[in-house]
Structure 1
């Protein structure tokens, strides 16, 4: 799966990318179906889906398009290769999260006792951080939300994953403040959201170190 120089082969890139998308999608779906707090971007999309009465997958897709444009503004260029990669990643990811969330909801995992539910929700947030870590290191295709964090991390914050994660989260926080002001209710915001806010950057940094340890950050130039 790796070349002699330590970089992944083409097949290795593809395998690791698929693994990372599945891990991240499953983690997001766990947090959404438990309704004990999702990662902030997902939570903001859940609240917008209630506000506009739209499918979660469609909202995740529209939210991603908006972030693609924001990333282009930050980079001060329209990098069409990068933007196309964002779209290629985002479309299956958005509907995979939506579909897995619906599937998990049919299993009645919301009826689990509180303590196991909280533990599983936190594990879901950890899965999200792990998935992000893998595909950010690959840097082959990125979800636009994670591309935003990557831009902030390496262009402005000297590679600090924790601070970059907190900075990127300011956008979904503002979105949820606006939706709450309109609806007077929040969905997918709970202990898992707090864990994601405080520790998702840490989960990414730890995964960088211990998950697929040979995989280093690629294509940063």
Structure 2
């Protein structure tokens, strides 16, 4: 029988995942070689409407939370509060890490090294998603959506679930491009995340702290 991790171990995994995720996002933000799909969609919406980027990021998060409720068929106050709480330290740490990375001259590095570090940022994000999805205490709304889809419809397949989760922002980006013929915040990091992030999450499940199994997913594993 596999021994379940106690709360202190889960707390350690969770804190580590938030730090890794923040560092990964800070790398992609400071290097500026492509934003994540949901962020890129918000950037494109902000560029083509009077609504600010901050509001689009908030609105997209709210829409995803509502989508999660619809998929699960019930309202979970604890889950929603967790989604909202997660974003506070996460956003703060991303800003802190990005500030120091820029001060250390990361934007002045050769292009080849910046591309490598941008892709490394995506890898770190995938590792972090793997960790806090397995802990399953508090998740970013988008990563919560991916986890719900992953176990409710695709038998734990992270690659397919991630691609499905990326579909809404891709549609937004394509529609805006069709209307304006301009794209913003799309680059090598965006493409790398689209192609590999889901697979990397699945690999991290197997090789990064493999003794840590997914917690509390029974209510997501069957379609009602």
TM-score scaled by structure 2?
A: 0.86
* 1:175 counterpart SS class: helix
Check 1:166–1:81 CA distance in 2 against 1; reply closer, same or farther (3 A cut): same
Aligned-pair CA distance for 1:50: 4.7
Residue 126 (structure 1) aligned to one of 114, 123, 139: 123
What displacement does 1:60 show? Answer: 3.6
Report if the CA contact (8 A) 1:38-1:125 is conserved.
Answer: no
Q: How many residues align?
A: 217
Does 2:90 match 1:96?
Answer: no
Quick one: which of 27, 30, 37 aligns to 2:27?
30
Contact in 2 for aligned 1:162/1:201 (Cα 8 Å): yes
- Determine the structure 1 residue equivalent to 2:135: 138
Secondary structure, in 3 states, of the residue corresponding to 2:104?
A: coil
**TM-score normalized with structure 1 length:** 0.87
* Cα deviation, residue 114, structure 1: 1.3
Q: Which runs of 4+ in 1 moved over 6 A?
A: none
**Conservation of the 8 A alpha-carbon contact between 2:43 and 2:53:** no
Partner of 1:147: 144
Task: Choose from 191, 199, 215 the match for 2:196.
Answer: 199
- Which secondary structure state, in structure 2, belongs to the residue aligned with residue 105 of structure 1? helix
The 8 Å contact of residues 64 and 142 in structure 2, kept in 1 or not, is answered as yes
Deviations 1:139-170, CA, capped at 9 Å, x for gaps: 11111101101111100111111000000000
Go from structure 1 to structure 2 and tell me whether the alpha carbon gap of 1:16 and 1:183 turns closer, same or farther (over 3 Å shift): farther
Residue 8 of structure 2 corresponds to which residue in structure 1?
Answer: 11
Alpha-carbon contact 1:35-1:187 (below 8 Å) kept: no
Q: Closer, same or farther in 2 for the Cα pair 1:153/1:217, shift >3 Å? A: same
Q: Which deviates more from structure 2 when the two are superposed, residues 69-78 or residues 134-143? A: 69-78
Compute the displacement of 1:179 (Å).
Answer: 4.5
Quick check: 1:41 aligned with 2:38?
A: yes
